[in-house]
A and B are shown apart, each in its own frame.
Chain A
Amino acid sequence: MPPAGMMRKAAFWACLAMFTGQIVLVLMPNLSAFEPFFKVDLIVDELSKVVLFCVGLVSATSLLSGEYIIKDEYQKFNFMNLLLIALAGMNGVIMVKDVFSLYVFLEITAVASFILISLGRDMGGLEAAFKYLILSAIASVIMLSSISLLLLLSGDTSFAGINAAIMTSPHSHLIMFAMGLFVCGLFIKGGLMPFHGWLPYAYSAAPAPVSILLAGIVTKTAGIYSLIRIMTLVFAFNDPIKYVLLFVGAASIILGAFAAMGQSDFKRMLAYSSISQMGYIVIGLGCGTMLGIFGAVFHLLNHAVFKTLLFVNAAAVESQAGTRDMDKMSGLAEKMPITGVTSLIAVLSTAGIPPLSGFWSKFIIILALWLSGHYFYSVIAVIASVITLAYMLSMQRRVFWGKTGPAFAKVKEAGFLLVLPAVILAAITVVIGLIFPFVINMFIQLPDLIGG
């Protein structure tokens, strides 16, 4: 029997300490005191630090929201354990140096995610977990075959080894084939169109804290971060790959945005919105220039923050109003003022309105696209911004503004455990937006990532 009562509370605090510890460690300038403890070969450069920060932040948020939303003691305990496993998986993905370990940690994360999604034991959750399982299995097969091909080509699985082999190898078609396989596997993990089939279900049907975790960090680490790492460290950034990235990114942006417009389920709309924003990151990556990659990474950070904030608000609304159907909701901002305000901040940041952080990252991506000559794609990105604003504002209007509907007369503001992360995340969005120049210099100093 899993321990309950005092033991579980101790477990909760231990988890919280671990996540905040992660955040703090990332932000601390000098870690040399800890070096003797870590003999494993890890990459901890600026890119890793960004994503580690996101992981710590989102995991802490997910923990706090889980404490508030999950009512059963045993379920809470299980949730925390799974959260720790997922954390281990993601940290591994972020910091490893070779392809096979990357694969192993991806699988660890995926397994933890399956179980997390179905934690609520309702039909929706089970169905979503099943879809994720199937598609993730396909992704695993694809990536495994690609890794075996790369092993065949280079005799080594480490990033450096493979990179060296690719640079000198004469088998260009085989290399491209392997690259294509691996990249598609990562697309499935990252939820880009048309490989996204599992994502709307997982985000909307999973219990609220799990959605927060998924949307905030799992998809990003597993899919997008790995993509960035692989593209910059391992594979050569040649033109066909760039065009694939650009096209898939653009397709995700547009189709995700249009699909989001017609949704009436709050979290499903946020899921499609995530697909769209992920498209922005990939299209920024597809530029191939320093500015593009910087924009992509910055947008990754911003998206982690504002999407998590939106899902926290969705959790608050779901727990207080009892429904996810936006057509039934109205005027909740009167009853839930903090949720309404933080949601508005997140909406504006998603749409890319200055001076919030979303504006800067989108602007850099669009600028990078224009400067590298992809005028059509930059125009698409701009137009999609407008559509993003449209559906986001439509959500805000339906859910929060207007007169409070009669069914929601007794709704109160969500508890402290949900409000605190919301406020912190909103503050981060605003602050990053306002002090953007300092953020660049201090936090995101990408090393020269484009080797070849």
Chain B
Amino acid sequence: MIITIPWIGFGIDLSLRIDHLSAFIAVAANIFGLLVALYCVPFLKGKRYAGQFYAYLFLSLIFINGAVLANNLIAMLFFWEGLLVTMFAMIFIGSKDAFRTAIKAFIIVGISDLCMMLGIILTGNLAHTFTMSSINLPLDGLGSAAYILLMIGAIAKGGSMPFHSWIPDAAIDAPLPFMAFMPAAIEKLMGIYFLARISLEMFQLTTSSWISPLLMTIGALTILLAVMMALIQKDFKKLLSYHAISQVGYMILGIGTAVPAGIIGGLFHMINNAMYKSCLFLTGGAVEKQTGTTDLNRLGGIAAKMPVTFICFIITAVSISGVPPFNGFFSKELVYDGALERGLIFYLAAVIGSFFTAASFLKLGHAAFIDKPREEHKDVKEVPFAMQLPMILIALGCVIFGVYNSLPIGLIQPMLGGHSLEGRSFAGFPSNMVLVVITLIVLAAALLNHLYGVRAKGSGLKAVDHIHYAPVLSGIYDRAEKKVFDPYNIGIYFVTWFSKALNWIDKAVDWIYETLTVKIAYFLTYYIRKAHTGNYAVYMAWSLAGLLVVIIYLVI
């Protein structure tokens, strides 16, 4: 169903479309908005930025709805960019030092949005229309350039590498409900929604084009690198944020496979991830609110004191690790299926990612909830009901989506269009048992690894230290912690150098204008003035000499 309201002209209309994909995402986004808003009521009580936060939250919902439902590229761009502003604002109000992070986020997402803008202009030019439902372009030279630009915008929104470096910073500086809402849920929904749009509808992404391996590589790298970083984090929220980055890699990998299994897996993973990631952040927020800290070094043993939080945590953690029969398992199986169809290496990357995901969540849970209880937290109680309710609902959702996965998959499958499914249905238990077995082995291995680590180092927190301080890895980890690899920092360094060079050029130009020309002028005027002696005979001589020259020139 399409509604079109004429807006600016030049093919720019306020055109809205409700089809399966956009309806699904819109509903999901709004549900998340509701749950987070509910969660915020006790969480933000007493914080000075509460009022502003609600304002930005609901403002974001306006933009999200607009962007998801928009059928016109320019209208969508308008809403998409609006999210930049609210994202900046929500990070900025978090703490006094949040300005830097807010700027970083703004610049990173802003630059990728600029690329998307270029892509939109190029697409509109190629297709001679801005209406998304009527665009269907092949991926030839210019078409693939447009696709790449749009893709950059989409995956940067989702938080994939290399546009990810603001998310861990925001995890510390921004208010927690922002983290639960935006990077966890909304950005994935928006980014992967747009990626799906451009891959399935607007461009003809097939398995034979070179973009598909590109997408899969980006996805695979994101999975691995981010989860390795997540492994060593000592802060609850930072760890979760790295996982958010890692999970979007699964989605990109899924869509990049360009086969039905992979695409459905990617989309299913999107909604699953939104659910369990936001719930994980909510539990983190619960811990933060009650204990006042998210530093894993200072947490421990609060499982008995906060049972509801703990149970929600367990459910979502096993979902994200891909344990049957929760929803993460099913979406990951579909992604594995698709990845295996395209290449063994992608499959291996995904599986190894799962291993580390499980390991890091075992560590997180152990360190935060099970470990030796601390003295300062002995009075910790459970959070208020208004905060528990969203967590419970989402955790239940994880269970339901896992067991009755025909429900979500039935919503997702029509997005592909009937022809590419060829009548198959991907609901129910995965068909490829070999994959299932491998998954279970990997999970068991992760558990064993964790137990070994605990035994070796004595606490849950240090369970992964044997990986952290492994010979080659420790060097890389050290540098990563110092943000040497951060693309944003590299970019800033380059820009600083460039502006210094420009400044030097500017000084040179100034010298020419202000020093050189003045000196020349003074030189000339001095000698001319000196030549005018005041003696009239000199002047007579000049006149007669001039006369002579003119006559000679004319006559001869």
Contact = CB atoms under 8 A, between A and B. Distances in A.
Nearest to A263: B529
B544 A138 contact: yes
B553 A240 contact: yes
Contact of B553 (A139, A198, A244, A390): A244
B550 A262 contact: no
A180 B551 contact: yes
Interface stretch (A20-28, A91-99, A187-195, A442-450): A187-195
Given A135-B540, A197-B543, A258 B550 contact: no
B525 interface: yes
B469 interface: no
Contacts, number: 86
Interface residues of B, number: 24
B540 A197 contact: yes
A173 interface: yes
B550 to A, nearest CB: 5
A258 B543 contact: no
Interface in A53-109: none
B269 to A, nearest CB: 66
B511 interface: no
A176 B536 contact: no
Contact of B521 (A138, A255, A258): A258
Point out which of B522, B532, B534, B551 has the most chain A C-beta atoms below 10 A from its C-beta. Answer: B551
Interface in A170-198: 173, 176-177, 179-181, 183-184, 187-188, 194-198
A134 B547 contact: no
Indicate the size class of the contact surface on chain A.
Answer: 35 or more
A176 B552 CA distance: 10
B547 A181 contact: yes
A179 B547 CA distance: 11
Contacts of A131: 536, 539
B538 interface: yes
A194 B538 CA distance: 11
A173 B546 contact: no
A142 B540 CA distance: 13
Interface in A217-262: 240-241, 243-244, 248, 255, 258-259, 261-262
B536 A259 contact: no
Interface in B522-544: 522, 524-526, 528-529, 532, 534, 536, 538-540, 542-544
B483 to A, nearest CB: 51
B522 to A, nearest CB: 7
Given A134-B536, A197-B538, A259 B543 contact: no
A184 B522 contact: no
Nearest to B531: A259
A181 B528 contact: no
B543 A262 contact: no
B542 A261 contact: no
Contact of A390 (B521, B539, B547, B555): B521
B554 interface: yes
Contact of B540 (A134, A181, A261, A263): A134
Interface string A29-45: 00000000000000000
Given A135-B539, A176-B555, A184 B547 contact: yes
B344 interface: no
B545 interface: yes
Contacts of A134: 536, 540
A138 B554 contact: no
Nearest to B547: A184
Binding site of A, secondary structure by majority: helix, strand, loop or mixed?
helix
A195 B554 contact: no
Point out which of B524, B538, B554 has the most chain A C-beta atoms below 10 A from its C-beta. Answer: B554
A436 interface: no
Contacts of A184: 543, 546-547, 550-551
A246 B543 CA distance: 17
Given A135-B540, A240-B553, A259 B528 contact: yes
Contact of B536 (A130, A241, A262): A130
Given A258-B525, A390-B521, A180 B540 contact: no
A263 B555 CA distance: 38
A135 B546 CA distance: 13
Interface string A358-396: 000000000000000000000000000001001000000
A146 to B, nearest CB: 10
A173 B552 CA distance: 10
A200 interface: yes
Contacts of B539: 131, 135, 196-198
A258 B528 contact: yes
30 contacts: A130-B536, A134-B536, A135-B536, A135-B540, A135-B543, A138-B540, A176-B555, A177-B554, A179-B554, A180-B550, A180-B551, A180-B553, A180-B554, A180-B555, A183-B550, A184-B543, A194-B543, A194-B545, A197-B538, A240-B554, A243-B553, A244-B553, A255-B528, A258-B524, A258-B525, A261-B521, A262-B522, A262-B525, A387-B521, A390-B521
The 6 A-B residue pairs whose C-beta atoms are closest, nearest first, are A197-B539, A262-B525, A180-B554, A176-B554, A184-B547, A194-B542
Given A130-B536, A173-B555, 15 more contacts: A134-B536, A135-B539, A138-B540, A183-B550, A201-B534, A241-B554, A243-B553, A248-B550, A255-B528, A258-B524, A258-B528, A259-B525, A261-B521, A261-B522, A262-B529
Interface of B: 521-522, 524-526, 528-529, 532, 534, 536, 538-540, 542-547, 550-551, 553-555
